[in-house]
Amino acid sequence: MIDLETENFPEDAISSENYVESDTKCYNTSMHDTIASSVDAYLEQLKFSRGASDHTVVNYAVDLAQFCEYLETLDIRKPGDIMHAHVRSFLREVVGFGYARSTAARKLSSIKGWTSYLKERGEIQSDPASGVRGPRLPGKLPRAMTSEEVNRLIEVGPEGLNKTRDRAVLELLYGCGLRVAEAAGLEWDQVDLGERWIRVRGKGNKERMVPVGRCAVEALRDWRQTLDPGERFVFPGEASGPVAVRTLHRVVARAAKRAGLAEVTPHVLRHSFATHMLEHGASLRVLQELLGHESLVTTQRYLKITAEQLKKSYLEAHPRAVNGGDDSEGNDDTLCT
């Protein structure tokens, strides 16, 4: 039986830097060296050649560890012996174990990345994961807060000794649409409060310039005054390093609880930033740059949620929408003559 317990840990719970640089392997070292070394080589390429984030490398390591352990139970010792049926049966076991379909889909993505790498290197003649379809995922729109909810979160949420820091965190996540890992690792030399710009290092160490609004600038200035003049990180953590990603999640969760809001995460704030930008006229191309999306297709998903919200607002507010959009109590056609 494969061990599927090591899953969905917090982003800061383990560092792939420790994985790459230590002798501790994320897979069963009793495996044949050919599979073991190929997994190692692929993960190192992800980190050092492709610039994948630590969190991505760790997730891939765990996914491939579980797949390799599964192959071992089938006495598969060489990459060339892996077949389509093995990949499909592994996915069935993952779903049968109780994991979400989205988790199974991610594991398939990890496997496909590895087998594609093996094919490119000539270690296998055919790709056993090519053509294997993942489980069908339900269409799920990102949740966006209303402007009123965001205001309440920022005004009411921050309290206590860390009030100044927490307000800066909330203003930055919503005001700039940053990923939580981007905010956690932000350094002061990336921030120009005078010109109101932030140089963000995103996925794959790609940099982008993001403007900073007045409210976020004021919150960051107030926070900076509480720090030592030589502080490197905007949100310092322990041992002279940056704050942990988990800590920022807690900041948002505590603020949401005080404000009486449910299911608010740093990612929800990023979604809200994107949705509100579109609602107020920003183009998809501009939003793509601000969010750091590699593909415009990723950005386009915000169009549907924005269109639905606009339609709802129209039906509720426009005098000629008829009964506030509710046709259940008769149609007053006299309004539309």
Residue of 25, 196, 203, 246 marked active site: 203
Q: Write down the CATH number for the domain with range 16-120.
A: 1.10.150.130
Residue of 86, 165, 270, 276 marked active site: 270
Residue 77's SS3 state is: coil
- 179 as an active site residue: the answer is yes
Per DSSP, 219 falls in state H
pLDDT of residue 10: 36
- 32 as an active site residue: the answer is no
The alpha-helical segments, DSSP class H, found in the chain are 16-21, 33-44, 54-73, 84-96, 101-120, 147-156, 163-176, 180-184, 214-224, 245-258, 266-279, 284-291, 296-317
pLDDT of residue 254: 92
Please name the fold of domain 147-317: hpI Integrase; Chain A (1.10.443)
pLDDT of residue 332: 45
Beta-ladder partners of 187: 233
Residue of 42, 117, 174, 302 marked active site: 302
Q: What residue spans define the domains of the chain? A: 16-120, 147-317
Tokens at residue 13, please?
A: 């719970």
Residue of 25, 88, 119, 267 marked active site: 267
pLDDT of residue 331: 46
pLDDT of residue 328: 43
Phi-psi group of 54: left, alpha or beta (phi > 0 → left; psi -120 to 50 → alpha; rest → beta): alpha
Per-residue pLDDT of the chain (337 residues; tens, 9 = 90+): 444 544 443 333 333 333 333 333 443 333 334 777 788 888 888 888 777 777 788 888 999 999 988 988 888 888 888 898 999 999 888 888 888 888 888 888 889 989 988 888 888 888 988 888 877 766 565 678 888 899 999 998 898 899 999 999 999 999 888 999 999 999 999 999 999 999 988 777 788 888 888 999 999 999 999 999 889 999 998 888 899 999 999 999 999 998 888 889 999 998 888 888 888 887 778 888 888 877 777 676 666 656 665 566 566 666 666 554 444 444 444 444 4
What is the length of the chain?
337
pLDDT of residue 140: 62
Question: Which residue type occupies 228?
Answer: D
**What residue has token string 């005078």?**
194
Of the candidates 132, 5, 137, the one whose C-alpha atom is nearest the C-alpha of residue 65 is 5
Residue of 293, 301, 312, 314 marked active site: 293
- 293 as an active site residue: the answer is yes
Beta-ladder partners of 201: 207
- 270 as an active site residue: the answer is yes
CA dihedral 280, 284, 286, 287 (to 10 degrees): 80
